[in-house]
Amino acid sequence: MPTIAKISSGASASSALNYALGKNKGMHNDTERWLDNHDLKQPEALQNCRAVAVGGTNGVMPEIAPEQFKLTREAYNQTQQRNQVQRIVQSFSADELDPTTPGNWQRANDLGVELAEKLYPDYQTAVYTHIDGQNHVLHNHIIVNKVNLETGHKLRERPGEAVERARQINDRLAEREHWQVITPVREHQSKTEQDLTKKGQYSYMHDLRSRIDSVMADTSVSDFKTFSERLTKYKVNVSIRGQNVSYAFLDANHKQRRARGKRLGADYDKEAIDNELARRTRERTEQQLDREDQARSTELVRDTTATDTALEQRERDTEPRKPALNQQSTKIERLGTSMQEINDQGSHAEQIYQRIRPAVRTIADGLQRFTDAVHGFAKQIKQRLADQHLYQDVASRFKADMARKEQAQHKEVKQDLAKRTAPKPQRAPERSTQTYYHDRGGLER
């Protein structure tokens, strides 16, 4: 019969969906070789994917489910909520659905879609069918978007209740298909524990499972070392012996208890724990890759915006030339329209078109050369005007300098002339002098 192997929460919807579709990820357990050995091929639409069949509910297209889930979360303002999806693994026995029959791939997917519709009619779900398990049995990965399409509220469901409800509906599907219904034994309970549970009394096995479940509920736990360290905070010690794991703790009655993982149930043995932790590691890696892709996309958008700005600036720079270019384009378009009309008339018109095509190209080239010449001439005129303005400015300064120099010369000449024509000052009359000669005999005038 089909069984519900696991139900768990996923922090990232995109990681869970991308893992389930497995685009360009490759199959596990040499499944590609297994397909070749059985002469089987994946559907053309799912080449290079892990999934061999896909489906969905409430309009979900599995190939673009990450975008659809995201839009719903944004519409109801649920983008900040943790654990965005619910994951359900539904497995089929090879006796019920033979994986070597390709028709059973789609049948398994249809049953998964039906289970999702009955379990969560008001939620978006995507269903991916795989055959890359250890024994290549058919199994579905059902991913539920935890946002109610009617109310916008987040899905809140206790794991135990979700598993019980899913198994009940899954059993009814098995009965309808006339498959044997077997109660799935995921948690081993002894007769004593069953009696204690019925009476509502304390069971140390149930207590131990609850402590382990509390640690595994934390999605940040992604390796066995962290798992063991977290359990010590719940007073549980973990020991490994080969491929087996055992748990030891003091129960509520302060009695030392020890139990092996397989005794607690298949979900608590080492292999199951390792598989779940490995899946979380892959999911965290994919989340990191998604963030890096988002960063690269943001950088690309930023570069594109800068390029657009540069193109807009270039377009503004060429705006003054648009009238002339538009006129040329109009002429060319008219010629092109005329040629198209001629071409539509038949083979003779085609020959005419081929003959006049070089002439049209020549005209277009001539118009372009004429435009370039006009721009060149305008540039020359602008340069000449600038040169003329400079010449006029120099001439004005030279003329002013000459006028100042001429004024200085006139002033100097006037000053010199004034000096020359000025009257000389008159001298005072000289006094007469008398000479007296002495003689021995007396004076002589």
Average pLDDT value for the chain: 80
Per-residue pLDDT averaged across 346-360, rounded? 65
Q: First and final CA of the chain: distance in angstroms?
A: 183
Alpha-carbon distance of 374 to 171, in angstroms, equals 86
Q: What is the pLDDT of residues 60-83, one digit of tens each?
A: 999 999 999 999 999 999 988 778
State in words which class domain 1-184 has: alpha beta
Alpha-carbon distance of 319 to 309, in angstroms, equals 15
Kindly state the tokens that stand for 92. 């089929």
The residue among 63 and 199 whose pLDDT is bigger is 63
> What is the band of 361 on the pLDDT scale with cuts at 50, 70, 90?
confident
- Sign of the four-CA dihedral 20, 26, 29, 34: positive
How high is the pLDDT of residue 263?
Answer: 84
Q: For the range 215-218, what are the long-range contacts, defined as Cβ-Cβ under 8 Å and sequence gap of 24 or more?
A: 216/273, 216/276, 217/9, 217/159
Q: Tell me: pLDDT of 132 over 50.
A: yes
Q: Which helix (H) or strand (E) holds 242?
A: none
Q: In Å, how far are 184, 206, 227, 230 from 213, measured between CA atoms?
A: 19, 10, 11, 11
List beta partners, residue 273: none
Backbone angles phi, psi at 237, to 5 degrees: -100, 135
Alpha-carbon distance of 207 to 391, in angstroms, equals 103
In this structure, the strands spanning 85-91 and 256-260 are unpaired
Hunting for tokens 């479940």 — which residue is that?
213
How high is the pLDDT of residue 445?
Answer: 46
Amino acid identity for residue 208 in this structure: L
Amino acid identity for residue 177 in this structure: E
> What is the band of 87 on the pLDDT scale with cuts at 50, 70, 90?
very high
Q: Tell me: pLDDT of 48 over 80.
A: yes
Q: What is the pLDDT of residues 228-262, one digit of tens each?
A: 999 999 999 999 888 789 999 998 888 999 988 88
Q: Tell me: pLDDT of 54 over 90.
A: yes
Write down the number of H helices and E strands in the chain: 12, 10
Whole-prediction pTM value? 0.49
CB-CB contact of 85 with 146 (8 Å): yes
